[in-house]
């Protein structure tokens, strides 16, 4: 599974680093490093929706506050 997190300026201001760190931490906690590929990506063109995250190409809007729930449902829940 490929998870891309926007690191463009708008998403950065909205907490992209916090979202990335939360997802990275949960991937490690659950031992999913061999199943989840995390990558940063510049602007996805949906700046008003940021922080933009894609899971296998499907776009989501994730906030630092919703990152754990997002991980459980859209990443861990698919594996």
Encode pLDDT of 18-56 as tens digits. Answer: 999 999 999 999 999 999 999 999 999 999 998 999 999
**Where are the chain's structural domains?**
2-73
Q: Is the pLDDT of residue 13 over 90?
A: yes
Is it true that domain 2-73 has CATH number 3.40.30.10?
Answer: yes
Q: Is the pLDDT of residue 12 over 90?
A: yes
CA distance 35 to 30: 11
- Whether the pTM exceeds 0.85: the reply is yes
Chain mean pLDDT for the chain: 97
Scan for tokens 């997190």, then name that residue.
5
CB 15 within 8 A of CB 63: yes
pLDDT for 50: 86
């Amino acid at each position: 599974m490929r998870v891309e997190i926007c690191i463009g300026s708008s998403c950065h201001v909205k907490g992209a680093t916090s979202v990335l760190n939360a997802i990275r931490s949960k991937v490690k906690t659950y031992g999913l490093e061999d199943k989840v590929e995390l990558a940063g990506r510049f602007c996805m063109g949906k700046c008003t929706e940021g922080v933009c995250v894609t899971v296998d190409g499907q776009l989501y809007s994730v906030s630092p506050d919703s990152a754990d729930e997002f991980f459980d449902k859209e990443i861990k829940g698919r594996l």
